[in-house]
């Protein structure tokens, strides 16, 4: 039993049982099929949700299409859409304790972290609530007897497909901009963590989002996800997930050439120079990889350390790592929870074995922790003696494992940092201003943090270089991803 008692509204939601939402109606799958939702802290199933198949995807897309074409949402006064999106933010905040418990139970993340995430999800709605009143077009400098202007219009029906690591944040980063720019959406959360997205659909309705504008389907990638990404009546897919599935999405989109934006995996370099504040660097690097049990696309999974401070940095990192308390999501004082599933547990421990067999050394951690019962607990693990060509330095582990790689100088740090197929995020720790900016320029990644790690804000665009994907979420650049641009020519003669 979790030591933090479940709120009555959480029990009520789980016992519901939770339903999907299509066209504003709470529904089961047409087939009647369901699947189990597992608590990673105990390895036990605690509820069942509908398993959407192709007919459910068709029904949801049909509702989203109807809602888009009759302009029940995009036709509202922009200020009204702002008001409704603010209301969604408000409702998330009002229900933050309930949502955080559901998220913690579903994903295994510590309750405190889950609460912070619910707040961040609300902030995404709050940020995008400001956009409907700021979607300007342009006038174009053409010949005197012509008048040409551009309109920014919604793309249409958006399919959102998201992973399990930050379930409600991922969902909000898709739903909030889709709505702000006038689209309708069919969202498929990850099979491991469907619950907060299902609850979000209810909160959107409560806030006044018209029926059919936000449709949420719980289901599996191989059927519901694939059907959504292939669907000829879906105009755009906004995807966050693995690079491998990103490729499937791209192939699936070719039928109707739907727009695609992809936020994919990473193997982010985190560079620590000898002149950095090592205490801050080790703490930041530790949080950068072990927050959310390393299940973070921007995880600080390759730590490049200047040789002269290597040993000192490693002992500081190991000490910080040992202070991270492993425990169940709903227990006071837990700093790091389990990984999300049995499959992920096997993947992560498999990589730890690979690291050992490649000749890297375990400086701390390195085992599954069975002292906490049947939950999927893996000790936070630091590898030293890693070469950048090792598998543990090249492949995304997506768990609480980091690899420390010694480097000689700035040039070698940049070269190794870029020696990866990914380009999502990076960090540099130094007190030398020009070195910091030189490295920031040299790294091929969508985000560079200087003397910090893992910061996000809805106003800051975010996305990948190389095989970490394309397109940008958040910030003003998300307008490109969620609108089409139309040029209108008027003959003044």
Q: Which residues bind ligand NAP (CB under 6 A)?
A: 161-165, 188, 190-192, 220-222, 225-226, 229, 240-242, 245, 248-249, 263-266, 297, 396, 398, 424, 464
Q: Is 263 a catalytic residue?
A: yes
In the bound complex, what is the minimum distance in angstroms from residue 262's beta carbon to ligand NAP? Answer: 8
Cα separation, 60 vs 186, whole angstroms: 7
Q: Indicate the residue among 121 and 314 with the shorter CB distance to ligand NAP.
A: 121
In the bound complex, what is the minimum distance in angstroms from residue 100's beta carbon to ligand NAP? Answer: 19
Q: Indicate the residue among 74 and 426 with the shorter CB distance to ligand NAP.
A: 426
In the bound complex, what is the minimum distance in angstroms from residue 267's beta carbon to ligand NAP? Answer: 9
Q: Indicate the residue among 14 and 190 with the shorter CB distance to ligand NAP.
A: 190
In the bound complex, what is the minimum distance in angstroms from residue 433's beta carbon to ligand NAP? Answer: 29
**Closest residue to bound ligand NAP by CB:** 221
Cα separation, 191 vs 342, whole angstroms: 13
In the bound complex, what is the minimum distance in angstroms from residue 219's beta carbon to ligand NAP? Answer: 7
Set 63, 123, 202, 297: catalytic member: 297
In the bound complex, what is the minimum distance in angstroms from residue 392's beta carbon to ligand NAP? Answer: 15
- Strand pairing category for 302-306 and 269-272: parallel
What pairs with residue 401 in β-bridges? 381
In the bound complex, what is the minimum distance in angstroms from residue 26's beta carbon to ligand NAP? Answer: 21
Cα separation, 335 vs 321, whole angstroms: 11
Closest C-alpha to 49, from 19, 15, 9: 19
Q: Please, are residues 267 and 420 in contact by the beta-carbon 8 Å criterion?
A: yes
Q: Indicate the residue among 188 and 368 with the shorter CB distance to ligand NAP.
A: 188
In the bound complex, what is the minimum distance in angstroms from residue 174's beta carbon to ligand NAP? Answer: 11
For residue 380, how far is the Cα from the chain centroid?
A: 21
Set 98, 263, 306, 396: catalytic member: 263
Torsion on CA atoms 430, 432, 435, 437, rounded to nearest 10: 90
Point out the residues that are catalytic: 263, 297
């Amino acid at each position: 039993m979790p030591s933090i008692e479940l709120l009555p509204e959480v029990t009520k939601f789980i016992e519901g049982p939770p339903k999907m939402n299509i066209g504003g109606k709470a529904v089961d799958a047409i087939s009647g099929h369901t699947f189990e939702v597992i608590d990673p802290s105990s390895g036990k199933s605690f509820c069942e949700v509908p398993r959407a198949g192709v007919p459910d995807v068709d029904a949801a897309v049909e509702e989203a299409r109807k809602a888009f074409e009759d302009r029940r949402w995009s036709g509202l006064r922009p200020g009204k859409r702002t008001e409704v999106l603010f209301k969604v933010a408000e409702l998330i905040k009002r229900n933050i304790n309930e949502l955080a418990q559901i998220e913690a139970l579903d994903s295994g993340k510590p309750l405190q972290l889950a609460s912070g995430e619910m707040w961040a999800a609300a902030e995404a709605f709050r940020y995008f609530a400001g956009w409907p009143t700021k979607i300007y077009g342009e006038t174009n400098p053409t010949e005197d007897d012509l008048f040409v202007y551009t309109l920014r219009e919604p793309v249409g029906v958006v399919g959102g497909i998201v992973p399990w690591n930050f379930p409600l944040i991922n969902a909000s980063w898709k739903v909030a901009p889709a709505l702000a720019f006038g689209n309708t959406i069919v969202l498929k959360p990850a099979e491991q963590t469907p619950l907060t997205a299902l609850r979000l659909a209810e909160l959107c309705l409560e806030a006044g989002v018209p029926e059919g504008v936000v449709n949420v389907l719980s289901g599996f990638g191989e059927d519901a996800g694939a059907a959504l990404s292939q669907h000829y009546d879906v105009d755009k897919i906004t995807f966050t997930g693995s690079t491998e599935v990103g490729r499937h999405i791209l192939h699936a989109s070719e039928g109707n050439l739907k727009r695609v934006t992809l936020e994919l995996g990473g193997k982010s370099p985190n560079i620590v120079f000898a002149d950095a504040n090592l205490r801050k660097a080790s703490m930041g690097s530790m949080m950068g990889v072990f927050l959310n049990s390393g299940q973070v696309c921007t995880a600080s999974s390759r730590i490049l350390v200047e040789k002269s401070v290597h040993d000192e940095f490693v002992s500081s990192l190991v000490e910080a790592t040992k202070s991270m308390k492993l425990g169940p999501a709903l227990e006071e004082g837990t700093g790091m929870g389990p990984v999300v599933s049995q499959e992920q547990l096997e993947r992560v421990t498999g990589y730890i074995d690979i690291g050992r067999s490649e000749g890297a050394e375990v400086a701390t951690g390195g085992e599954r922790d069975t002292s906490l019962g049947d939950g999927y607990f893996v000790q936070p693990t630091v590898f030293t003696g890693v070469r950048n060509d090792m598998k543990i330095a090249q492949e995304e582990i997506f768990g609480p494992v980091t690899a420390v790689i010694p480097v000689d100088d700035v040039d070698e740090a940049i070269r190794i940092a870029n020696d990866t197929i990914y380009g999502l995020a990076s960090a540099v720790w130094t007190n030398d201003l020009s070195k910091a900016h030189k490295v920031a320029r040299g790294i091929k990644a969508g985000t560079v943090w200087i003397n910090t790690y893992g910061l996000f804000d809805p106003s800051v665009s975010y996305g990948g270089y190389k095989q970490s994907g394309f397109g940008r979420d958040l910030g003003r650049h998300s307008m490109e991803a969620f609108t089409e641009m139309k040029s209108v020519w008027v003959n003044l003669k």
